[in-house]
Amino acid sequence: QVQLVESGGGLVQAGGSLRLSCTASGRTFSSYGMGWFRQAPGKEREFVAAVTWSGKTTNYADSVTGRFIISRDNAKNTVYLQMNSLKPEDTAVYYCAATEFYYSNLEADYGSWGQGTQVTVSS
């Protein structure tokens, strides 16, 4: 498995931007598909975005399409989530995760998870 540590969360006003980072250690980062998920208070964890090991293919939840961008830098063992035009409903704990699949939007396909980083969007 790979160890994951997220950073970059915080408090931002609606319409603002944040960039989350997730740095991996352990087994070869570039062999994993990577994803971002989020969990809002009182709700189940949901898929946000995913990227293949090469970074060439991405997938997004409908709620963030056009606002969020997932990318990765395999030389730095890091995956990013650029979040633009943030809305109060984006408030959640954001988790990065690694999958041995090409990539996936299914939580069950991910075997390694970070501890999460809080994103709060004020109205």
How confident is the model over 6-59, as pLDDT tens digits? Answer: 999 999 999 999 999 999 997 688 889 999 999 999 999 999 999 999 999 999
Mean pLDDT, the chain, as a whole number? 96
Cα Rg of the chain (Å, integer): 13
Q: What is the pLDDT of residue 27?
A: 67
Question: For the residues of 47-113, what is the DSSP string, one character each?
Answer: EEEEE-TTSS-EEE-TTTTTTEEEEEEGGGTEEEEEE-S--GGG-EEEEEEEESSS--S-GGGEEEE
Q: What is the pLDDT of residue 106?
A: 96
Report the relative pairing of strands 117-122 and 10-13 from DSSP bridges.
parallel
Q: What is the pLDDT of residue 32?
A: 92
Q: What is the pLDDT of residue 119?
A: 98
Q: How many CB atoms lie within 10 A of CB 110?
A: 24
